[in-house]
Structure 1
Amino acid sequence: MSRILLAGDHFVRNDLLADRLRDAVGHPVELRTLTLPWPHVPFGPVAEVDEASDAEDEMLPLLDGVEVLVTQMAPVTRRVLAAARSLRLVVCTRGGPVNVNVPECTARGVLVCNTPGRNAVAAAEHAVTLILSTVRAIPRIHSTVAAGQWRSDLYAYDECGLELGGSTIGLVGYGAIGRRVAAILRAFGAHVLVTDPYVTAADLPDGLALVELGELLARSDVVSLHTRLTPATAGLIDAAALAAMRPGSYLVNSARGGLVDYDALAAALDRDHLAGAGLDVFPAEPPPPDWPLLRSDRVVMTPHLAGATRQTAHRAAELAAAAVAAWVAGDTPSDLVNPEVAGGPPG
């Protein structure tokens, strides 16, 4: 009987994981559970991993004899792995396993899977929501009505926002989320430009244009970021990139905070080069109370919630269960982060 530790949280819950696992595996398994405090307690760095719940001490007594760990936020550190001598598979129910020490897992012969695409629908819809809210200044206008004001002067030409229909929207990144954003924007009648070094023109449907980043910045009314944070993309939207954007355009970032130089963004807004920005991610999360952009009424902000839908949690549980079921059956799970490790149940 396979021993599985479910280290769920208050989003990807243990009851969801357990239900999907029992259905997918098809025979009894021994389940141990640990409920992590996220999102009620923010994640952060833990030892050598990032974006994790600080729960090493709670995990250690539960790992004896465990062959499979399924988690979104558990810190899979050297210390945890040293205590998990029977561990053969880690399933991380998120797009990037930043809370997992993948090199250490690989050295110990432990397979690591992730669940890419689990939040693609949610994140794409949220990105488009941010675009609409930003170009139409919905939060700022809402606050005037809530304050008892009837600002018909906001109908003035200089106060009006943009229609997506007929506008040019530039997408930096064309992965699972970027593709969905593009399809939604095309339904609005927007002209969509794409820049992505891993995409060719043949990969794009009719109506989308593949361009270099410089051309995208210069032509777009809205630039929306959908690329991963890597050493090559860190600080991609810096002062020079912001200066290359069209005067009066908008920047939307629902990908990763490290993609943007936020001091340069604040300066671009202050000098009216950009008309506004929509942000779901930040250089530090949460941003400090004195962070300048918190005071700007031209910035629409949400607290890193782009993937927060119930369907995302269900999809994560389903993908995790499929990976575990494949491993238990002696097959290689999909979406391996370290495929060089030979998989399969021990013995």
Structure 2
Amino acid sequence: MESTDPVRVAAAGDRFVVPSLITAAIHHEMDEHPCEVRELALAEGAGDAEEELIKALADAEVLVTRGGPVTERVLAAAPELRLVVVCRGGPVNVDLDAAKAHGVRVCRAPGGEAAATAEFTLGLMLAALRRIPEAHAFLTRQGGWQGPASPTYEHAGPELEDLPVGLIGHGAVGSRVARALCAFGARVMVYDPYVRGEVHGLRIGSLDDLLRRSRVITLHAPLTSGTRGLIGARELAVLPRGAVVVNAADGELLDEDALCDALESGQLSAAALDTYAHEPLPPDSRLLALAPRLVLTPRLGGSSRAAAEKAAGIAAEEVGRWVRGEPPAHSLA
């Protein structure tokens, strides 16, 4: 699409990738091409989001959003729309079949959250190993520090240095976690049958072998039909007694009931989760009763300011390619 007419863009942000970030990224990318950006702040899960999006898309050629519901109804009401860019790795909010039927290209913005998720994974691991949330609660809620600190051997956690840590997956996030763990001096092992070439750490040929040799495992595999429930009761039983499990990837990789059983039996000494099979976490979830051995966070892994800025920038680059008539880098439909 090469034209001197202004490109009409709807920037439908949310509380994380805010509209102003999208607007700034688009203007930066399109500094030599005029564009008109209409901003819209969408509340996630709001019942009137479709209506708001339809109004914002009046005459728009491009939509950049993170979670806006790009449904058949929305697409049908936006005849000028030609490009949708989603500021996340997976366009779960877009009806891809309807987009194809309406001649709308759909692109995503992968990789923007990789560094943030890797850092958060390390934070979860350290919190579980060194019992940081438990210590915080002891000090602030129970008034536990009445004299000189004197932790017992039983309650002291292990160090990462020389600790055998197994990574399941060595992609954008897993490889970053592996590099950081190597810097800590951990004995890093990696199981990923799909990655070729060098890995950061010792490559292990089978999942069971990795589990047998790891005091900590951290999950970084993508969710597929083959990886759903990848770590269940059988796999947890293969781990050395007292092992630790960390998951900031996808909740459905892990059998949560089996995890609870393993924590209750002492097969696992601790675990840390940022993602869950059902989100938001139901109030009657067994997981909630297992603190402090279980560290829980509400899907914060990829939520850094830099991640939001990167997502907006990657999305804006796709808009720029479309305007210049170049092939997309991350097209889905």
TM-score using structure 2 length:
0.92
1:180 paired residue among 169, 176, 188: 176
Following the alignment from structure 1 to structure 2, what is the Cα–Cα distance between the partners of residues 54 and 188? 48
Give how far 1:53 is off.
7.8
Q: What corresponds to 1:6 in structure 2?
A: 11
Q: Partner amino acid for 1:316?
A: A
Q: Map 1:92-131; keep pairs closer than 5 Å.
A: 92-131=86-125
Residue 298 in 1 paired to residue 293 in 2?
yes
Aligned-residue CA RMSD (Å)? 1.8
Residue 166 in 1 paired to residue 162 in 2?
yes
Q: What corresponds to 1:34 in structure 2?
A: 40
Does the aligned pair in 2 maintain the 1:53–1:75 contact within 8 Å?
no
CA 1:136 to 1:116, structure 2 compared with 1: closer, same or farther past 3 Å? same
CA 1:197 to 1:110, structure 2 compared with 1: closer, same or farther past 3 Å? farther
Q: Map 1:131-280; keep pairs closer than 5 Å.
A: 131-146=125-140, 147-150=142-145, 155-200=151-196, 202-205=197-200, 207-280=201-274
Q: Partner amino acid for 1:101?
A: D
| Secondary structure of the corresponding residue to residue 139 of structure 2 | helix
Following the alignment from structure 1 to structure 2, what is the Cα–Cα distance between the partners of residues 292 and 105? 40
Give how far 1:240 is off.
1.3
| Secondary structure of the corresponding residue to residue 41 of structure 2 | coil
| Secondary structure of the corresponding residue to residue 93 of structure 2 | coil
Q: What corresponds to 1:18 in structure 2?
A: 23
Following the alignment from structure 2 to structure 1, what is the Cα–Cα distance between the partners of residues 181 and 270? 19
Q: What corresponds to 1:60 in structure 2?
A: 54
Give how far 1:159 is off.
1.8
Following the alignment from structure 2 to structure 1, what is the Cα–Cα distance between the partners of residues 304 and 295? 20
Larger mean CA deviation between 189-198 and 70-79 belongs to 189-198
Percent identity between matched residues is 45
Residue-by-residue CA offset, 1:130-182 (whole Å, 9 max, x unaligned) = 00000111101111111211387973222221111101111111111111100
Larger mean CA deviation between 17-26 and 97-106 belongs to 97-106
Q: Which runs of 5+ in 2 are unaligned?
A: 1-5
Q: What corresponds to 1:48 in structure 2?
A: none
